[in-house]
Amino acid sequence: MKIAIIGIGAMGSLFGAHLHPLADVTLLGEWPEQLAALRENGLLVEMADGRSRRTPLRATNIIAEVAPADLALILVKSHKTAAAANVARQLLADDGLTLTLQNGLGNLETLAEEITPHPAALGVTSAGAAMAGPGHVRVAGMGHTYLAPPTGPGARITLAEVAALFQQAGFPTDLTDNPISLVWGKLAINAGINPLTALLRVPNGFLAEDPAARAIMAQAANEAAAVAQAQGITLPYPDAAQRALEVAQGTATNQSSMLQDVLRGARTEIEAICGAVVGYGRAYHVPTPANDVLLREIKRLEIGDWGLEIDVPAIISHLQSQIANLSNQEGRL
Most confident of 120-129, 177-186, 194-203, 300-309: 194-203
**Same domain? 57 vs 164:** yes
Measured between alpha carbons, how far is 82 from 77 in angstroms, rounded to an integer?
Answer: 10
Residues 310 and 255 in one domain: yes
**Last-in-domain residue among 177, 206, 239:** 177
pLDDT band at 331 (very low <50, low <70, confident <90, very high): low
pLDDT of residue 332: 56
Q: Model pTM? A: 0.90
Please provide the average confidence, as pLDDT, over all residues in the chain. Answer: 93
Express each pLDDT in 230-261 by its tens digit: 999 999 999 999 999 999 998 888 889 999 99
Last residue of a domain, one of 177, 201, 234: 177
Both 160 and 118 in a single domain? yes
Residues 149 and 238 in one domain: no
What are the pLDDT digits (tens) for 281-327? 999 999 999 999 999 999 999 988 776 778 999 999 999 999 999 99
* Domains contained in the chain, number: 2
Question: Does residue 2 carry a catalytic annotation?
Answer: no
**Which residue is catalytic, options 77, 80, 186, 299?**
186
pLDDT value, residue 116? 83
Q: State the DSSP string of 98-146.
A: EEE--SSSSHHHHHHHHHTTS-EEEEEE--EEEEEETTEEEEEE---EE
- The pLDDT assigned to 214 comes to 98
Q: Tell me the CATH number at 53.
A: 3.40.50.720
- Give the domain extent around 97: 2-177
Distances (CA, A) of 288 to 100, 137, 158, 221, 235: 27, 35, 39, 10, 17
Is 124 found in the same domain as 11?
yes
Check whether residue 125 and residue 228 sit in a common domain. no
Task: Provide the pLDDT for residue 324.
Answer: 95
